Amino acid sequence: MSERHTLIRGLHDVGLAAWFGGSLMGAVGLNGAAEDQGGTQTATDRIASSGWAKWTPVNAAAIGVHLFGSGGLLAVNAHRVATQQGVAGSTVAKTAVTAAALVATAYARVLGKKVELASSTDPEDAEKARKHPVDLDKARRQLACAQWAVPALTGCLVLLNALHGEQQRPAEQASGMWERARSVNPFMS
């Protein structure tokens, strides 16, 4: 019997789409525009930091929506994870990549905040930056890498999501469950 889980799947997919698309647009568009318009490295940092700071709450909401949808999909597909050959492995891979994307996102935000404080003209921010000095060139390089890691990892999640979609085809489910049953009981042929 086929059940629909459109809302849960929609939350998963829309959240992932925003996380992937926003991070890719930021790395390409926002950072590129900041470089074009900044004039100096400090001005470039300020422009990019302002844009990323505005994106942060939306990104956090997108990630939350995606994680909620992911948890829901895992709950409604737990029987397939347990019984269909290959689904547990792809689920573990998807979980590991999600964790890596979360770490990269958090790391990018921490580095971004350091660059933001170091480039700020606000006296309070300048004071915070003085209390916590940072190697700005190193932070900029690490930030660039982290900002590109996020769309790379979330792009991998999109591909793993496609794999999960393929594994849900009726023929895939039947053969996957048969292979799983055979692996548990070698006398089944």
In a domain, 185, yes or no: no
Q: Give the pLDDT score at 139.
A: 95
In terms of phi and psi (left: phi > 0; alpha: psi -120 to 50; beta: otherwise), the region of 39 is left
In a domain, 189, yes or no: no
Residues 6+ apart with CB under 8 A from 20: 151, 154, 155, 157, 158
In a domain, 95, yes or no: yes
In a domain, 169, yes or no: yes
Distances from the Cα of 185 to the Cα of 78, 86, 88, 171, 189, angstroms:
21, 17, 18, 21, 9
Torsion of CA 135, 52, 64, 147, to 10 degrees: -50
In a domain, 117, yes or no: yes
- Output the tens digit of pLDDT for each of the chain's 189 residues: 457 899 999 999 999 999 999 999 999 999 999 999 999 999 999 999 999 999 999 999 999 999 999 999 999 999 888 888 888 999 999 999 999 999 999 999 999 999 999 888 888 877 887 887 889 999 999 999 999 999 999 999 999 999 988 887 666 555 555 565 566 666 655
In a domain, 116, yes or no: yes
In a domain, 68, yes or no: yes
Number of structural domains found in the chain: 1
Q: Give the pLDDT score at 180.
A: 57
Q: Give the pLDDT score at 57.
A: 98
* DSSP codes joined into one string, the chain: -----HHHHHHHHHHHHHHHHHHHHIIIIIHHHHHHHHSSHHHHHHHHHHHHHHHHHHHHHHHHHHHHHHHHHHHHTHHHHHHSTTHHHHHHHHHHHHHHHHHHHHHHHHHHHHHHHHH---HHHHHHHHHS---HHHHHHHHHHHHHHHHHHHHHHHHHHHHHHHHTSHHHHHHHHHHHHHHH-TT--
Enclosing domain of residue 69: 6-179
Q: Give the pLDDT score at 1.
A: 40
In a domain, 184, yes or no: no
What is the C-alpha to C-alpha distance for residues 12 and 66, in angstroms, rounded to an integer? 4
